[in-house]
Amino acid sequence: MELVAGGFSGEQFREACAELQQPALAGADWQLLVETSGISIYRLLDQKTGLYEYKVFGVLEDCSPTLLADVYMDLDYRKQWDQNVKELYEQECSGQTVVYWEVKYPFPMSNRDYVYLRQRRDLDMEGRKIHVVLAQSASVPQLVERSGVIRVKQYKQSLAIESDGKKGSKVFMYYFDNPGGQIPSWLINWAAKNGVPNFLKDIARACQNYLKKT
């Protein structure tokens, strides 16, 4: 994907908001994969890659929407709580801010890196305050591929957050990436199935620690 002037469209942000109120699971073969700790994860097979797209719905208790959005956006802080991060930073390229992210993979697999466009909007939808973050891989000539690291060229994520009416956050997340290389699709899908719940647990814990350090 080439960088798009102005980033993401308003319609893309509205679609993420809509999933919070009414999950869009009809009309496609979305399958319930797992329910754990108040989180439901659905998957849809991508026929071209043999990999799955994921949708996550649920509540993170004791983590307010604004705090959760702030922690998610704070790349420097993520380097402290996410042990899979090798390198992570923002850079201005062609008038847009892009994110470079290298992820540690276990030996003997090569690390993966991502270059992606990211944008946050805090929206008022008929009185509901919703934080939305969209991310998608981008082609950026200034950030060349590195020897020994495989560039992930298919990556897309949406995150929408609002209050659960108490102290926590109601969350919707869409996720897809194709890490490439010679990793069997079953292993990628297994890692995603386990990795998504673990990520949510980690970011919830990071929110609590973020409060302590501020």
- Summarize pLDDT for 22-74 with one digit per residue, the tens: 888 877 789 998 887 788 999 998 888 888 899 999 999 889 999 999 999 99
Burial class (CB in 10 A: 0-12, 13-18, 19+), 99: middle
196: closest CA among 20, 64, 40? Answer: 40
pLDDT at position 214, please?
A: 58
- Radius of gyration of the chain from its Cα atoms, rounded to whole angstroms: 17
For residue 125, report the phi and psi dihedrals to the nearest 5 degrees. -110, 95
Whether 39 contacts 56, CB under 8 Å: yes
pLDDT at position 1, please?
A: 39
Whether 150 contacts 14, CB under 8 Å: no
- pTM (predicted TM-score): 0.88
Whether 169 contacts 64, CB under 8 Å: yes
**What is the distance between the alpha carbons of residues 125 and 153, in angstroms, rounded to a whole number?**
33
Q: Which residues contact 144 (CB under 8 A, 6 or more apart)?
A: none
pLDDT in tens, 123-182: 988 888 999 999 999 988 899 999 999 999 999 999 999 999 999 999 999 999 888 876
Lowest mean pLDDT among 107-111, 187-191, 195-199: 187-191
Beta strands (DSSP E) in 81-152 are: 85-93, 96-103, 111-125, 128-137, 149-152
161: closest CA among 72, 74, 73, 65? Answer: 65
At CA 198, angle to CA 90 and CA 208, rounded to 5? 70
72: closest CA among 22, 118, 124, 6? Answer: 118
pLDDT in tens, 74-122: 999 999 999 899 999 999 988 889 999 999 988 888 999 999 999 999 9
Answer yes or no: is pLDDT of 4 > 60.
Answer: no
Q: Which residues contact 46 (CB under 8 A, 6 or more apart)?
A: 52, 53, 176
In which element (H, E) is residue 77 found?
Answer: helix 75-81
Whether 2 contacts 139, CB under 8 Å: yes
Cα-based torsion angle of the residue sequence 164, 169, 174, 178 in order, rounded to the nearest 10 degrees: -160
Q: Tokens representing 28?
A: 């496609």
